[in-house]
Amino acid sequence: MKRVFLFLLTNLAVIVLLDIVCTVLGVNRFLTPRGLDVQMLLVFAAIFGFGGSFISLLLSKVIAKWSTGARVISTPQTPLESWLVQTVHALAQRANLKAPEVAIYEGAPNAFATGAFRNSALVAVSTGLLESMNRDEVEAVLGHEMSHIANGDMVTLGLLQGVVNTFVIFLSNLIAWAIDNALRRDSDEGGGLGQIGYFVTRIVLEMSFGLVGSMIVMWYSRQREFRADAGSARLLGSGRPMISALTRLGSLSGEALPQHIEAMGIASGKGMFSLFASHPPLEDRIRALQQAAAH
């Protein structure tokens, strides 16, 4: 949940920053004396929509290391670190991937894989995960993360976010211009929102549409978790270790999670916030693995 949330937050920050810079520099040429140039607006929205997404993607490894305090294992110092690196390398070989960087960070049971390129990725495991799971379960989790890399999930997420960004920017500017234009027509004095009012309206709309768009991105994120679970089962030759890992994860106390994870409890997939959950409920993932094993 944390890595996806940070990706979305970084992406939104980049989009808003680019929008402000373009406004200050006057390079948003889609506003003309004759009105709104829709084609130019669409080109602008696509360039900056995908630009924001890919900048976020390129920064994903740096942000992940910084936000978790992950320590990359360059030279293993303990038997556990040696086993961890060897296991990741073996899984990478099975998945026909270049071995990613392997890192450990302090925190509640969790793990993540990130990076803009399949052959230049990062896999990080928390101390909580290593302490609470046996090696078969840890290997299953690592197989899950390696499947994310093999499936190109972060790149696909970036492309999807780029499409969402494009429509967010396009619709926000279009609607803000339409509102301003309507106010100018209705006002006897010819007044509208004005430049500052138009800018503020556009930013508010971008934030609102961005929130709606994140539901689409989160839906994709939930689907990729099922695929990564299945990928782990293929890499290990059985889905039982992944089922065991998910079962153990579900048995851990919620109080053990650090505050910044607790604040994102929507990842449980329960209630109205399930639309914003990056992961499906654990029971649904376990059921999917059990059904796959039965066929």
Residues 94-100: contacts with CB within 8 Å, 24+ apart? 94/235, 95/146, 95/147, 95/149, 95/150, 95/235, 96/150, 97/121, 97/146, 97/149, 97/150, 100/146, 100/149
Mean pLDDT confidence for 2-10? 57
Buried b (16+ CB within 10 A) or exposed e, 237-274: eebebbbbbbebbeeeeeeebeeebeebebbbbeeeee
Q: Which amino acid is at 123?
A: V
Distance of CA 286 to CAs 22, 132, 184, 229, 248, Å?
Answer: 47, 19, 57, 9, 11
State the pLDDT at residue 176: 85
Q: Which amino acid is at 212?
A: V
Catalytic residue IDs: 145
150 touches 113 (CB < 8 A): no
Using 50, 70 and 90 to split pLDDT, how confident is the model at 76? very high
Does 176 or 30 have the greater pLDDT score? 176
Structure tokens at 189: 């004095």
Q: Is the pLDDT of residue 271 over 80?
A: no
Of 3, 2, 11, 1, nearest to 158 by C-alpha is 11
**Environment class of residue 144 by beta-carbon count within 10 Å: exposed (0-12), middle (13-18) or buried (19+)?**
buried
The DSSP element (H or E) to which 32 belongs, if any, is strand 31-32
Q: Is the pLDDT of residue 79 over 80?
A: yes
Task: Report the predicted TM-score, pTM, of the whole model to 2 decimal places.
Answer: 0.79
pLDDT tens-place string over residues 222-264? 899 999 999 999 999 999 999 999 999 888 744 333 333 232 2
pLDDT tens-place string over residues 96-147? 999 999 999 998 888 889 888 888 899 999 999 999 999 999 999 999 999 9
The separation between CA 28 and the C-alpha centre of its own chain, rounded to angstroms, equals: 28
Q: Which amino acid is at 32?
A: T
* The pairing of beta strand 71-72 with beta strand 35-36: unpaired
Would you list the domain boundaries of the chain?
A: 2-62+154-294, 65-152
pLDDT tens-place string over residues 141-196? 999 999 999 999 888 888 898 898 889 888 888 888 888 777 776 555 555 555 66
Structure tokens at 244: 């065991």
The separation between CA 106 and the C-alpha centre of its own chain, rounded to angstroms, equals: 21
CATH class label, 65-152: alpha beta
